[in-house]
Amino acid sequence: MKHYDYIVCGAGCAGLTFLYEILSLQNLQQKKVLVIDSNLQKENDRTWCFWEKGNSRFENLVYHKWENLHFNSTHFSSTLNIKPCVYKQIIGIDFYNYVLDFAKQFSNVTFIKEEIIGIENENNLGCVKTNSGTFTAEYIFNSTFITTTRNDFKTPNSLLQHFKGIEIETTENYFNTQQATFMDFSISQNLGTAFVYVLATSPTKALVEYTFFTKNILLQNEYDNLLKDYINNTLKIKDYKITHTEFGVIPMTDFVFEKYNNRIINIGTVGGAVKASTGFTFKNIQKQIQQIVALLEQNKKPYLKRSFTDRKFHLYDSVLLEVIAKNKMKGDEIFAAIFKKNKPQLVLKFLDNETNIFEDLKIMSSVPTRIFLPIAIQKLLNTWR
Ligand SMILES: Cc1cc2nc3c(=O)[nH]c(=O)nc-3n(C[C@H](O)[C@H](O)[C@H](O)COP(=O)(O)OP(=O)(O)OC[C@H]3O[C@@H](n4cnc5c(N)ncnc54)[C@H](O)[C@@H]3O)c2cc1C
């Protein structure tokens, strides 16, 4: 049995962010660390977009930035200037390679490529089991679904955010690289809330992604046909080649994730980093890991407690999920009302869980109280019962 200070279970966005952060700090970079992932040969499997003011922790990896976001729906359409926020894009493989290369200079970090079959607390140590053995540590930072199954996420109002995106290259200049189509709801809403985003990174290159907030995913060829139709008939592009494909399913749930259990610290998606009402996760992972690492740096237990703000935004997200899941108001109408009646900077701050109660009320007054308020009151009563 081998013992480490920390074991990182899962070397994806959260695991590698954690690794990068501890190795960047003088008093943590000597820790003996084991990183286990069944797939260490990273592929370019995803692209992360997020907005922020100022520089990102991974600013050097930012591939493209936009200061203008286009919102389109049958209810409201506008190109929104989001300054001083900037919408940024990081390519998955750039991030993976950057952190893995950085970690190579540390002989105290060991990587093993194996399937994790168990994560437990044993004798006040974290214990990880794989087919080749058992490893123990002071703390385990887990981003795999071993401690929480995907079925746990299913609540009566949970949805799946599922999407397929293709990067296309055209022969002629077509795209405006100064603006990103953030949400185009002008497509059919028959299957549920659906929108397309178009992220142009050169006049001839863009990522076009078709996204749903619904209960069930589609067949791959159904996404392909929808993407083809959008590119041909909405973007009016006939001649293009596909240079990259990505597919994802993100839980949109009001399930309360267990953030820690003695020696096991859940991070990333399984640590509750997904914003339930939008699916945005990347920036939440950065915030979550920075808070955990700050506690480790101060030699404290890396336990993130649920704050009042966490509970407040959990309630808002839960209400929104119920409204959409029970079809009390359509997702495109809700987002259109919010973007129409508020400054985009305020909407982005709200979606970042950073608004105060007065700002929350301003956003909430954009949507019909008669639909949202009874659901919110019912949820509050349920939590007190
Ligand atoms: C295609 C795609 C695009 C996305 N785009 C955005 C975006 O634009 N903006 C945004 O904010 N969020 C986005 N997300 C959501 C979110 O940011 C990502 O899902 C993010 O990668 C989640 O990080 P994570 O560390 O929790 O999980 P992952 O990055 O999925 O990492 C989990 C790791 O655990 C490993 N693992 C799992 N089980 C085992 C096991 N049993 N044994 C060993 N290893 C195991 C996996 O191989 C993986 O490396 C996107 C997600 C996808 C899939």
Q: Whose CA is nearest to atom 29 of ligand 1?
A: 12
* Each residue's pLDDT tens digit, 35-62: 999 998 889 999 999 999 999 899 999 9
Nearest to 280 by CA among 49, 57, 45: 49
Does the beta carbon of 251 sit less than 6 angstroms from any atom of ligand 1? no
* Each residue's pLDDT tens digit, 250-302: 999 999 999 999 999 999 999 999 999 999 999 999 999 999 999 999 999 99
Half-sphere CA count of 115, side-chain side, radius 13 A: 2
Quick one: average pLDDT of 185-211? 98
Q: Which atom of ligand 1 is nearest to the CA of 130?
A: 42
Q: Whose CA is nearest to atom 49 of ligand 1?
A: 12
Q: What 3-state class would DSSP assign to 216?
A: coil
Is residue 6 within 8 Å of 22, Cβ to Cβ? yes
Give the Å distance between the CA of 282 and the centre of ligand 1. Answer: 9
CA distances from 211 to 188, 194, 227, 309, 373 (A): 12, 6, 10, 28, 28
| 335 token code pair | 């987002």
Is residue 7 within 8 Å of 128, Cβ to Cβ? yes
pTM of the model: 0.96
**For residues 272 and 43, what is the distance between their CA atoms, to the nearest angstrom?**
24
Q: Whose CA is nearest to atom 3 of ligand 1?
A: 46
Residue 257: how many other CB atoms lie within 10 Å: 18
**For residues 107 and 177, what is the distance between their CA atoms, to the nearest angstrom?**
42
What's the full length of the chain, in residues? 385
Residue 337: how many other CB atoms lie within 10 Å: 19
Residue 219 has pLDDT above 80, yes or no: yes
Q: Which atom of ligand 1 is nearest to the CA of 145?
A: 38
Give the Å distance between the CA of 15 and the centre of ligand 1. Answer: 9
What per-residue confidence (pLDDT) applies to 151? 77
Give the Å distance between the CA of 13 and the centre of ligand 1. Answer: 6
Give the Å distance between the CA of 380 and the centre of ligand 1. Answer: 32
Q: What's the chain's average pLDDT?
A: 96
Does the beta carbon of 246 sit less than 6 angstroms from any atom of ligand 1? yes
